[in-house]
């Protein structure tokens, strides 16, 4: 069978499975998820054996130690995968929820009922734990999933999927509910992106290059985010101790992730008071500051920011700092340089907090809290399949509910249209 | 300026305008909409003059009378455009609605607030009234819109947009809020579909060919529906008088539209009783029936259905008829041949009504009502920008709310992430 035919066959099977999955009871899905978690733990030796093959190829191919680090399946990583499946089992089942119902003048009752999206394609890099996380979330939301991980993790991903499929089978879940594309050929991805009749949604997870490739080739809707350029604006009325703690956390707690702060905006009226002590604190953590001319006057030892430092996703202990004249300038800067991801204001001013919340067009907008909370788990969604800065369907952290859509349901008593 | 640069400039201006539009007060938007409606009526002579240019070119080009009919701006059509803008003004404003809010263990208050999508591109054919309908809906939802109508309607569309822009200006709404692409070159559409940084959503409205072209070229998310293959299943327990009235309405009231019935499924146990009288009634309206072998045995004078009659969108007084053994076979047929659009069951059986509502994966599923109700206005959405069978963001008839998305809003009191 050609690769093209093979991918088509997988997708067709996934579509068939999706009809069954959409009607699976919550208790069947939850028992399957719980048992998948237990089976992953029990199968740790097999998983590590498959993983060892990937690791050995990766070392031969000279992959960086950071990449190898992300690839490795330790007992801790396997435990984390199991924990995540247990958590997903505990989440409420969105499928079948009727969010509202209303009565039309002619007596029709019209409502919106949540249903699974159908078949989801996930294209991701390195980390094999994404395989079980994504499979668990898709199963909970009643979707079939086709997984395409990085070529360097192929044996690990296939081993994980085999375990999930075997447990699924015992619960009447067809193997086509969770499929890993069993080849590393890039052509498989291109073929997958053409199958709009079988696949409802593509979620790429990885670097900007991967995501741009997927968007440019896909005939299927893609939910994506390219980057996270998060801002914190410290307003004139801010509680400065709070501002210091939030800014430090937003920058330093985990600088390599998309919800870390990349640019600090400070109101002119408190810049002289705030910036030197904030800079002192950042110094203890080794943060490199790059300031606008006004910030540099207050902090002579820091670097001058260059034009492309604004809107830059450093993913590192580097921070651009700008002094602004007020709220309008801060919002203007965020609109110009932000990435629709996450932005926060630190303020004690009621009007400014409200204006910031309403006017900043990012997927998560916070008052007096760290940008690091922009995360499905932290916001209370339970688990997260990804973050969307595509302003469609889902915007921001996406949980189980965002793996569903709604259909109209109508209860009539013989109505016809006049 | 090259065409490419010109389209980019329009899109960039639309993006700038969208920030202002997203913060426009409801009362400003509503007054503008009301006055746009009045100004269209007052400007009828100018509109008809511009329209006459389009009509004359259309006649010279030998367009069919059906196409010319759709192109013409009569006083009645202009009144309809004005009425539609008045109606949109009366709809609730979705922008700023907070649908829910919850408290996290750490005291963060997290909510979801509706915001505009941003910039919407609409690509449509012939009917110039779409220009004002779409502009009105987009304005109400706080979006900038870029309109690309059919080349045969270019003067009419530009004249309508000029009126809307002029009224908008008096209310502080920038002209870039409502723009019509001022050229008929197809390259303009291709250019538009590449501007993912400026345009958030593309809605193509027209024939399947146009939609497939847009989907294949667009780097921007597309909301679409290719066709409507709607089914009615008459169950064994149906009230047969009700079934007759619903089926007749679903097929005959307006056969050329996407929510008309294309296939009738009849339960074997009542087929002998129901089909002859239904066929008699369809005969009075000139409906051509194409039956499965079993239907043909009961109605010897009808044509035999060919394989491609199942799943066919006739858009005409033609109906495929199939006798099925029960609910499972009916749902199976709909899943195999349907188009995720609209399907209805006529039944008095409680369990079957519930199973049909839950298991049919179409965007609108009805019990005991005509498929013709699958329409934004009929379902109570006020007005409709289109119908989506893309299972993302919106599924089914789309109203003003579906021209918005939600962002997360978070009220904190100094929380940082542990």
Task: Quote the pLDDT of residue B123.
Answer: 94
Q: List the structure tokens of B322.
A: 């199939």
Q: Which of B367, B373, B393 sits opposite A417 (nearest CB)?
A: B373
Lowest mean pLDDT among A33-42, B359-368, B393-402: B393-402
Torsion B315-B316-B318-B323 (CA) sign: positive
Read off the pLDDT of each residue in B328-355 and give the average, rounded to a whole number: 93
Please give the pLDDT value at position B410. 86
CATH T-level fold of A3-223+395-410: Aldehyde Dehydrogenase; Chain A, domain 1 (3.40.605)
Q: How far apart are CA B334 and CA B371, in angstroms?
A: 14
Q: What is the pLDDT of residue B412?
A: 84
Asked if B379 and A23 come within 8 Å (Cβ–Cβ), the reply is no
Rg of chain A, C-alpha, whole Å: 24
B155 pLDDT exceeds 90?
Answer: yes
Contact criterion met (CB < 8 Å) for B414 and A367: no
Out of A239, A373, A407, the one facing B108 most closely (by C-beta) is A373
Tell me which of 3.40.718.10, 3.40.605.10, 3.40.50.300, 3.40.47.10 is the CATH number of domain B3-93+118-223. Answer: 3.40.605.10
* Contact: B117, A392; criterion CB under 8 Å: yes
CB-CB neighbors (< 8 A) of A417 in chain B: 249, 253, 370, 372-373, 378
C-beta atoms of A408 and B374 within 8 A: yes
Instruction: Give me the DSSP letters along B332-350.
Output: HHHHHH--SSEEEEE-S-H
Q: Is the pLDDT of residue B377 over 90?
A: no
Name chain B contacts of A219, Cβ cutoff 8 Å: 215-216
**pLDDT, greater one: B322 or B106:** B322
Which CATH superfamily hosts domain A230-379?
Answer: Aldehyde Dehydrogenase; Chain A, domain 2 (3.40.309.10)
**Across the interface, which of B118, B362, B417 has its CB nearest the CB of A372?**
B417
Give the confidence band of B206 by pLDDT, cuts at 50, 70, 90: confident
List chain A residues with CB under 8 Å of B412: 366-369, 373
Give chain A's residues under pLDDT 50.
none
With respect to CATH, is domain B230-379+387-392 assigned 3.90.930.12? no
CA A70 to chain centre: 17
The side-by-side arrangement of strands in the sheet containing B144-148 is: B178-180, B144-148, B119-124, B201-205
Give, rounded to a whole angstrom, the gap between the first and last alpha carbons of chain A: 54
| Tokens of residue A16, six digits | 């068939």
Contacts of A242 in chain B (CB under 8 A): 414
Residue B66 has a pLDDT of: 81
Tens digits of residue pLDDT in B37-63: 999 999 999 999 999 999 999 999 998
Residue A408 forms beta bridges with which residues? A112, B364
**Tokens 């593509």 belong to residue:** A202
Q: Could you give the count of Cα atoms lying within 13 Å of B131 in the half-sphere of its Cβ?
A: 32
pLDDT winner (highest mean) among A371-385, B124-138, B305-319: B305-319
Residue A65, pLDDT score: 85
- Asked if B395 and B363 touch (Cβ cutoff 8 Å), the reply is yes
Q: Is the pTM of this model over 0.90?
A: no
Q: Using the CB atoms, write b or e for A259-269: b if 16+ within 10 Å.
A: bbbbbbbbbee
Q: Looking at the partner chain, which of B196, B216, B391 has a beta carbon nearest the beta carbon of A219?
A: B216
B225: pLDDT strictly greater than 90 = no
Q: Which of A201, A364, A416 sits opposite B246 (nearest CB)?
A: A416
Pairwise CB contact (< 8 Å): A409 & B357: yes
| Residues B262-308 pLDDT 10s | 999 999 999 999 999 999 999 999 999 999 999 999 999 999 999 99
DSSP string, A305-325: PPGGGTT----SSEEEEEEES
Half-sphere exposure of A52 (CA within 13 A, CB side): 6
> Do B96 and A22 lie within an 8 Å CB cutoff?
no
pLDDT of amino acid B53: 97
**Tokens of residue A322, six digits:** 């700008």
Q: Are strands B364-369 and B342-346 parallel, antiparallel or unpaired?
A: parallel
A369 contacts in B (CB within 8 Å)?
108, 410-416
Q: What is the pLDDT of residue A311?
A: 96
Query: Between the CA of residue B372 and those of A100, A111, B397, what are the distances in Å?
Result: 22, 16, 12
Question: Between chains, do B22 and A359 touch, taking CB under 8 Å as contact?
Answer: yes
CA-CA-CA-CA dihedral for A277, A278, A283, A284, to nearest 10 = 80
Q: Are B4 and B188 in contact (CB under 8 A)?
A: no
Indicate which of A119, A252, A416, A418 best probes the interface with B, i.e. most B CBs within 10 Å of its own CB: A416
Longest dimension (CA), chain B: 78
> What integer pLDDT is reported at residue B281 of this predicted model?
97
Q: Would you list the domain boundaries of chain A?
A: 3-223+395-410, 230-379
Q: Does B408 contact A359 at a Cβ distance shorter than 8 Å?
A: no
B362 or B30, higher pLDDT: B30
- Per-residue pLDDT tens over the stretch B227-269: 899 999 999 999 999 999 999 999 999 998 889 999 999 999 9
Burial class, B44, CB count within 10 angstroms (exposed 0-12 / middle 13-18 / buried 19+): middle
How does residue B415 score in pLDDT terms, banded at 50, 70 and 90?
A: confident
Per-residue pLDDT band for B141 (boundaries 50, 70, 90) equals: very high
3-state secondary structure of A56: helix
B403 pLDDT tier (thresholds 50, 70, 90): confident
Q: Strand A98-103 and strand A109-116: pairing?
A: antiparallel
Which residues of chain A neighbour B253 with C-beta distances below 8 Å?
416-417
Residue contact A391–B104, C-beta within 8 A: no
Q: How far is the C-alpha of A396 from the C-alpha of A384, rounded, in Å?
A: 10
CA distance B203 to B385: 9
Within its chain, how far is the Cα of A301 from the centroid?
37
Per-residue confidence (pLDDT) for residue A252, from 0 to 100: 95
The CA-atom distances, in angstroms, between B23 and each of A360, B118, B171, B180, B346 are: 10, 11, 13, 23, 46
Q: What are phi and psi of A82, to 5 degrees?
A: -65, -45
Per-residue confidence (pLDDT) for residue B302, from 0 to 100: 97
Give the percent of chain B with pLDDT over 70.
99
Å between B240 CA and nearest CA of chain A = 10
- CA distance, residue A48 to nearest chain B CA (Å): 31
Nearest CA in chain A to B200: A391
Residue B40 has a pLDDT of 98
Tally DSSP H helices, then E strands, for chain B.
Answer: 15, 16
Q: Cβ of B373 and A415 within 8 Å?
A: yes
pLDDT at A342: 92
Contact flag B391-A117 (C-beta cutoff 8 Å):
yes
Residues of A in contact with B203 (CB under 8 A): none
For helices B26-42 and B44-60, give the axis angle rounded to 10 degrees: 70
Of the candidates A272, A225, A275, the one whose C-alpha atom is nearest the C-alpha of residue A247 is A275
pLDDT score at A370:
92
Token pair, residue A336, equals: 């110009």
């Amino acid at each position: 069978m050609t690769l093209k035919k093979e991918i088509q066959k997988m997708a067709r099977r996934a579509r068939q499975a999706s009809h069954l999955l959409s009607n699976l009871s919550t208790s069947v899905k939850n028992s399957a998820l719980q048992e998948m978690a237990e089976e992953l733990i029990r199968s740790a030796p097999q998983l590590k054996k498959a993983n060892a093959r990937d690791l050995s190829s990766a070392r031969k191919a000279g992959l960086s130690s950071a990449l190898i680090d992300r690839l490795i399946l330790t007992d801790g990583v396997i435990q984390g995968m199991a924990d995540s499946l247990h958590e997903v089992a505990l989440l409420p089942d969105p499928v079948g929820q009727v969010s509202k119902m209303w009565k039309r003048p002619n007596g029709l009752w019209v409502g919106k009922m949540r249903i699974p999206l159908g078949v989801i394609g996930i294209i991701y890099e390195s980390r094999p734990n994404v395989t079980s996380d994504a499979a668990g979330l898709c199963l909970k939301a009643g979707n079939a999933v086709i997984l395409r991980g990085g070529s360097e993790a192929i044996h690990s991903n296939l081993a994980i999927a085999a375990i999930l499929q075997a447990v699924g089978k015992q619960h009447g879940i067809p193997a086509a509910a969770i499929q890993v594309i069993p080849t590393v050929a890039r052509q498989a991805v291109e073929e997958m992106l053409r199958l709009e009749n079988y696949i409802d949604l593509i979620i790429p997870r990885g670097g900007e290059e991967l995501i741009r490739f997927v968007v440019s080739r896909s005939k299927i809707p893609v939910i994506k985010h390219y980057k996270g350029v998060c801002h914190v604006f410290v307003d004139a009325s801010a509680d400065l101790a709070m501002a210091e703690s939030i800014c430090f956390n937003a920058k330093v707690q985990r600088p390599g992730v998309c919800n870390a702060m990349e640019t600090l905006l400070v109101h002119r009226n408190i810049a002289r008071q705030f910036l030197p002590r904030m800079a002192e604190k950042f110094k203890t953590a080794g943060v490199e500051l790059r300031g606008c001319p006004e910030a540099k006057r207050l902090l002579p030892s820091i670097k001058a920011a260059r034009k492309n430092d604004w809107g830059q996703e450093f993913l590192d202990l580097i921070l651009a700092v700008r002094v602004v004249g007020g709220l309008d300038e801060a919002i203007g800067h965020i609109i110009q340089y932000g990435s629709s991801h996450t932005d926060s204001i630190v303020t004690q001013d009621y009007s400014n907090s409200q204006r910031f919340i309403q006017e900043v067009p990012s997927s998560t907008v916070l008052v007096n809290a760290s940008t690091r909370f922009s995360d499905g788990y932290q916001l209370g969604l339970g688990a997260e399949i990804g973050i969307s800065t595509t302003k469609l369907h889902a915007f921001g952290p996406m949980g189980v509910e965002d793996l569903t859509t709604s259909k109209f349901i109508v209860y009539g008593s013989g109505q016809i249209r006049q």
